[in-house]
Amino acid sequence: MSILQVDNLSGLSGTDITIEIGKAITGAVSQFKITGGTAGQVIQTNGSGGLSFTTSGGLPTQTGNTGKYLTTDGTNVSWEVVDHTHSHSAELPSQTGQAGEYLQTDGTTATWEPVATDPAMGGDLTGTASNAQIVAGSIGTTELANNSVTSDKIGVDVIVAEDIAANAITVAELQDDAVTTAKIATDAVTANEIAAGAVTTGKIARAGTSGQVLTSAGTGADATWAAASTDGILHASMWHLTGYPSGSHDPLTTWAEMAQLGETYHNGYKRLGGAFTHASGVFTFPATGYWQVMFKLVTSAYGTTLSNYSYARLKTTQNNGTTWHDADQAQGQVQRTTSANIEIPPLITQTFFHVDDTSTHKTAFEVVQHNSSTETYGVSNGRPYTCVYFTRLAGL
């Protein structure tokens, strides 16, 4: 190793001394000295090979700047006094008299503002914080968590039919016994809503009284409970002719009902159901229905005419007598050899009459005699001869 000892170096030509690339001047820290600068400064380069001393990190000196804050104008940094007088835009506004307030900025200036104790609501809320209300119509499906609305949170009668989508409620949504009679609209349950075999005897209301039967009231009407008929015949009546009228009569007019139980000559007769009425020989039915009507005629030939005959005619009208029809007819005749009185064999006629209006559907009985002297027998000592019989066989 060679040792160079000199007190001063200078360039042979020019002002710079160049150290060969790859070579270095070495020595201890205490041996390497460059004059200039102050304590704590560092060497910096200008990028062109020039070196100079400067403060470390570019900060201004901290000596004598106790309690100050560091600020910059965008180019230079400096220490500034914190005086809380708001004389500098970067400082806080004065806190004096601003107890409980909050700091607010408009982007340029900071100010202290009072805290609202009951602020107004916004968005889906109206009113103030102490009495906030939900804006009508603001809560929809998206605001509700699944299963958050339970039965306890729904008021009575709040949900009506208009609030339920078609077919939205199925069996799964209904509790047992939840649908009562009061919750079913009139005529809402038809055959389509009832499963096959669903209506059993136990599900039919047992109204009525003992012995009654369920009776149809016709199309569109509810069935009703009514007393059951034991034999199907609810009306039966028997009438006889009074006196002994001679000759022909259209109609026979002198009629009386047979004596009933408790009356003289009753013979055990008792009317069943309602009573017939007659005026001038025209009979009015006590009820509508399907009626059997029978006419028995007994006559006796008098006088000198040896050949005698009689007609028994059972007549009906459906327009209160405007038009009459011969519903049935019977004829009897006798040939006498002497003028002695002789009875013509009884004549029997009958018909089945559909009576759907008792004010228009009526019946009468006619006798036609060949001989004006021939008599029609009535009743003698309670024994009837000429009679009519009425039996209601069934209802309509």
Q: Which domain holds residue 279?
A: 245-377
pLDDT > 70? residue 229: no
User: pLDDT for 109-118, tens place per residue?
Assistant: 888 888 877 7
Taking alpha carbons only, the member of 377, 282, 285, 295 closest to residue 329 is 295
The SS3 assignment for 11 reads coil
- For residue 318, what are its two tokens? 């459906």
Residue type, 334: V
The mean per-residue pLDDT over the stretch 238-256 comes to: 95
- For residue 351, what are its two tokens? 């018909």
In terms of DSSP bridges, do strands 375-376 and 362-369 run parallel, antiparallel, or are they unpaired? unpaired
Q: Which residues pair with 383 in a beta bridge?
A: 380
**Which percentage of the chain shows pLDDT scores above 70?**
88
More confident of the two residues 217 and 252: 252
DSSP-assigned letters across all residues of 69-99: EEEE-SS-EEEEE--SSS-STTSPPP-TT-T
Burial class (CB in 10 A: 0-12, 13-18, 19+), 387: buried
Say how many domains are in the chain.
1
Taking alpha carbons only, the member of 270, 216, 208 closest to residue 238 is 270
The mean per-residue pLDDT over the stretch 78-98 comes to: 70
What is the reported pLDDT for 30?
Answer: 65
**Which percentage of the chain shows pLDDT scores above 90?**
28
Taking alpha carbons only, the member of 375, 373, 351, 374 closest to residue 364 is 351
What is the reported pLDDT for 257?
Answer: 94
Residue type, 274: G
pTM: 0.45
Assess contact for 389 and 238: CB atoms under 8 A. yes
Domain presence at residue 331: yes
Residue carrying the six token digits 């009113």: 127
What is the reported pLDDT for 181?
Answer: 79
The mean per-residue pLDDT over the stretch 106-132 comes to: 82
Q: Report in angstroms the alpha-carbon separations of 256 from 112, 287, 298.
A: 121, 19, 16
The whole-angstrom separation of Cα 314 and Cα 116 is 109
CATH number at residue 321: 2.60.120.40
What is the reported pLDDT for 31?
Answer: 66
pLDDT > 60? residue 87: no
Give the dihedral of Cα atoms 192, 195, 196, 201; nearest 10 deg: -110
The whole-angstrom separation of Cα 17 and Cα 28 is 21
Domain presence at residue 202: no
DSSP count for the chain of H helices, then E strands: 0, 23
Q: How confident is the model at residue 230 (pLDDT cuts 50, 70, 90)?
A: low
The whole-angstrom separation of Cα 156 and Cα 153 is 10
What is the reported pLDDT for 42?
Answer: 75
The mean per-residue pLDDT over the stretch 219-239 comes to: 80
User: pLDDT for 318-377, tens place per residue?
Assistant: 999 999 999 999 998 876 666 666 778 899 999 999 999 999 999 999 999 888 888 899
The whole-angstrom separation of Cα 165 and Cα 154 is 17
Residue carrying the six token digits 């009074």: 242
The whole-angstrom separation of Cα 394 and Cα 380 is 33
pLDDT > 90? residue 296: yes
Q: Three-state SS string across 208-277, please?
A: CCCCEEEECCCCCCCCEEEECCCCCCCEEEEEEECCCCECCECCCCCEEECCCCCCCCCCCCCCECCCCE
Over the chain, what is the mean pLDDT? 82
- For residue 277, what are its two tokens? 């009425």
